Structure 1
Amino acid sequence: MTAPTVTAILLAGVRPIPDPLAQAAGVAAKPLVPVAGVPMIDYPARALVGHPAIARVLILTQSPRLYADNPATAWLAEHPKIVFETSGFGIAASLLSLMDRADLPYPLLMTTADHVLLDAAMLDRFIAQATGADIAVAMVERATLLARYPASRRTWLKFRDGWWSGANIFWFGSAKARPVIALWQDVEQDRKKGWKILTAFGPFALIGAALRMLTLRGGIARIGRRFGLVARLVAMDRAEACIDADKAEDVALIESILARPR
């Protein structure tokens, strides 16, 4: 068996404004919100530590004690593959700080604590297709999602090759990804607003998307060339890849999926 080589980063921070799910559940942070009776962070954390390609998991949060002191998540602090890292101000700034460390080898795979449905098959597909890229992003085309979950609502970016929504899995294959992350830092507060993100990549990207001149694959590759790196779209083939626990209706849908026979 090939030795594990990927370092996973699991985002489990607390945003400055109160999270409605955490408030409704009476917990201190969104990753502790119960989904089917289990803190949501439990699901992606177990998927990551159980995957044979992943050597270790860094949980990035402002408050590691929130998880270490909670009986339901104390296992995270005790697991030999898991290390807690205290995050700074913003995801991009924290990621850049991690990438400056000599003890953090590439490639890096990043995902979020609300990616409850993340599983080995999704990780298999993403790692296989992202390997060799300096930066890669997982996304799901709208037809893939709506074929299984027609009532699910997502944020979509419209391109010539379809309407796309993020799957909250990112790949940083080398230090060449740093300039893109630095740009992400500039637009981080607008990450849900697709047009502002596209504007940051230049007027051609914005006009091309508006006129449906660009495919998303081509656009990402073009952005990569602009930064002198290999950038890649990983189109996920399962609708569940873009269903995160962002709202109460998402949690209800996720719990119904988890309840199905496997």
Structure 2
Amino acid sequence: MTAAHPVPIPAILLAGSRPGPDPLLTGSGVSTKALLPIAGQPMLVHVVAALRASPLVGPITILAQASAELAAEPGLAGFADLHFADSGQGISASLAAALPEGDAPVLVTTADNVLLTPAMIAAFLTGAEDSDVAVAMVERRVLLARYPESKRTWLKFRGGWWSGANLFRLRGRRVLPLLDFWSRIERDRKKGLKIVAAFGPWLLIGALLRLFTIQQGVARAGRRFGLKAKVVPMAEGEACIDADKPADIELIERILAARR
């Protein structure tokens, strides 16, 4: 008797623009970051190609303020089962509106996650099983062993310093209370201690004194919302290198060239 194939998970791809001017777009000739060319094609196309190449991923919904502009991108023409939706104010509110009914899981990533691969998706989804909320992260030693020049935002916990990898698995609408909470603090997403403090003084004290690991801290934060939350450590440092700065893009293009 053969094992059943897993049901492909729907994906939500966040491709909107944050408020204010984006220095990456200066002189680029494009109006939104998702369409910024990297290694000859828009970053959005790289991410969609990785998602579509994974047999574990089903329909893909692309969220952006002006989704029609992204839908017209010629580089996306060959991909099946793409859907486009206009996002609202803020990532959390937009994501909440796009979640399917019920509590079936959904995979979430971003348009600047250019180095995403089917292997990363498989590793993450395997590690994320049996959770309500799962977050992919990379430990600093994993990244710096191969890319010491890469600058990331790090969360310090007992046993390591961690950076997010722009991959999330959410169990449908049961995570809405968490998304509502996140909408009030997402402007501080790059300020590690502010994020930790928002979940309560005990979590902040524990992080400052290194009383627990990041896995234990995320599990505690999830329990505040009645959710089973977990960190999925990623073995590939590339998983946390997203296209935020010109130096990131230079590094991403070198990595893509080496892959080819």
Give runs of aligned pairs for residues 47-86 of structure 1, distance below 5 A: 47-73=50-76, 75=77, 79-86=79-86
Alignment of 1:159-238 (within 5 A): 159-238=157-236
Q: What letter is aligned with 1:171?
A: R
- The 2-side partners of 1:45 and 1:248 are apart by 22
Q: Are 1:28 and 2:26 matched, yes or no?
A: no
- 1:193 positional shift: 0.9
Q: Identity across aligned pairs (percent)? A: 50
Contact 2:13 2:60 in 1 (8 A): yes
Matches of 1:198 and 1:144, distance apart in 2? 23
Match of 1:93 in 2: 93
Give the secondary structure class of the aligned counterpart of 1:10: strand
Q: Which residue of 1 aligns with 2:257?
A: 259
- Checking the alignment, whether the CA contact within 8 Å between 1:183 and 1:200 is kept in structure 2 is no
Task: Name segments (4+ residues, structure 1) moved above 2 Å.
Answer: 68-73
Give the aligned residue type for 1:79: F
Report which stretch shifted further, 135-144 or 64-73: 64-73
Q: What is the aligned length?
A: 257
1:261: Cα distance to partner?
Answer: 4.5
> Structure 2, unaligned stretches of length 5 or more?
none
Distance 1:9 1:49 in 2: 12
Counterpart selection for 1:16 from 16, 19, 23: 19
Shift of 1:71: 3.1
User: Cα offset for 1:55?
Assistant: 1.3
- Whole-Å separation in 1 of the counterparts to 2:40 and 2:8: 32
Paired residue secondary structure (2:63) = strand
Inter-partner Cα distance in structure 1 for 2:229 and 2:259? 37
* AA aligned opposite 2:176: R
Aligned partners of 2:172, 2:15: CA distance in 1, in Å? Answer: 23
Q: TM-score, normalising length from structure 2?
A: 0.94
TM-score normalised by the chain length of structure 1: 0.93
Unaligned regions of 5+ residues in structure 1, if any?
A: none
